[in-house]
Every structure is written in C-alpha cells, then in structure tokens.
Amino acid sequence: MSAQNLSRFFVLLLIGFLAVPTCCAQPVDPLSEEGTEDEPIYTQGIFFGTVKAVHDDGISMEVRSFKERIGNKVFYMDKGTKYYIDSQRKKLDDIQPGQKVAINYIARNRFALAKTVYVEFGEFKRPEEYKRTPRKKRKRTTKKSSGGEGH
C-alpha cells in the first residue's frame, strides 16, 4: 500500500470514526435543561501561522501557529478549498513551507477543514477581511440605441 493510499485510508477512518455514534450513547432530550445548549456543534474562525509542511497526499497541511501555546495545527483540504496568494486565485501546488498564511476554517473537535487559505507576504489584514462573500452575478447590460436624434 503506497503512502498516499495509506494516508487516505487514515483520513477516511478518522471521518468514519467521527460519524459513527458510540454504542453507549444515551438519547438526549433537546428540551431538557441538562443538555449542552451552549456548546457549538462546530467552530469556525481564522487561524494565523506559517506553513510547516504541505503533505504530498494533497489532503492536509501542517501550520505552525504564531502563539507558542497553540503549537502546530493540521488542516485538511477538500475540493472546495480555495487558495489565494496576494489576492490572486492559485492552486495548492503554489503554497510552499515557510509562507505566512491565514486560514479560514471550520472544525469539529480536533478535525479542522480549511475552507480558504490566504498566503500573505506583508502584514496580515484584520480577521473580518478574510471572510469572503460569494460574488453576485451581474445582469447583462445592453446598449440602448438613440433612435430619435438622427435626421
């Protein structure tokens, strides 16, 4: 089994493990007062750091945080992940170790999925500037002919 297939197997195994409920789980009444109402199902945010490694499988990237107490974080990517270098759309192959990145991610427990990866060479922007909104489609404009002006 090649290294790429082995890493894919472990990612799929991890996803399967997170998706399968435990056998000892007790049903929870959503209206009960004991529920975990304040705990989110997932978290999302912006992670600032330096690329430590882009794994050959193309599924994951290891990023070193600027804060020592956080350490390294592994982000998984899928086909929907977008990559930007200085505000221009690029591919994963263009991201190299040592580059500063801001990653817009969504996470559940320890599994973090990168939605958008921004490579910055200068100063980082404010976190709210990294939240891209989808472009709205413009309506086509047609030129109106001025029919009454000619003699």
In CATH, what number is assigned to the domain containing residue 118?
2.40.50.320
Q: Is 56 part of a structural domain of the chain? A: yes
148: confidence class by pLDDT, cuts 50, 70, 90: low
Domain contains 29: no
Q: Report which DSSP code applies to 129.
A: G
Residue 66 lies in a domain: yes
4 within some domain:
no
| pLDDT confidence tier of residue 35, bands split at 50, 70 and 90 | very low
State which residues form the domain around 85.
41-125
Question: Which is nearest to 74 in space by CA: 143, 10, 28, 147?
Answer: 10
Does pLDDT of 28 surpass 80?
no
Distance CA 151, CA 143 (A): 21
Instruction: Please count the structural domains in the chain.
Output: 1
Q: Give the position of tokens 């910055």.
A: 120
Is 83 within the bounds of a domain?
A: yes
In a domain, 93, yes or no: yes
Tens of pLDDT, residue by residue over 40-81, are 577 888 888 999 999 887 788 999 888 777 778 889 998 888
- How far apart, in whole angstroms, are the C-alpha atoms of residue 67 and residue 131? 22
What pLDDT, in 10s, does the model give residues 134-144? 555 667 777 66
Residue 90 lies inside a defined structural domain of this protein: yes
CA distances (Å), 66 to each of 47, 50, 51, 96, in order?
Answer: 9, 7, 11, 17
Q: Is 33 left (phi over 0), alpha (psi -120 to 50) or beta?
A: alpha
Is position 47 within any domain? Answer: yes
pLDDT at res. 51:
92
Quick check: 95 and 49 in contact, CB under 8 A? no
Confidence of residue 1 (pLDDT cuts 50, 70, 90): low
Q: Report the first-to-last Cα separation within the chain, whole angstroms.
A: 81
In this prediction the pTM is 0.58
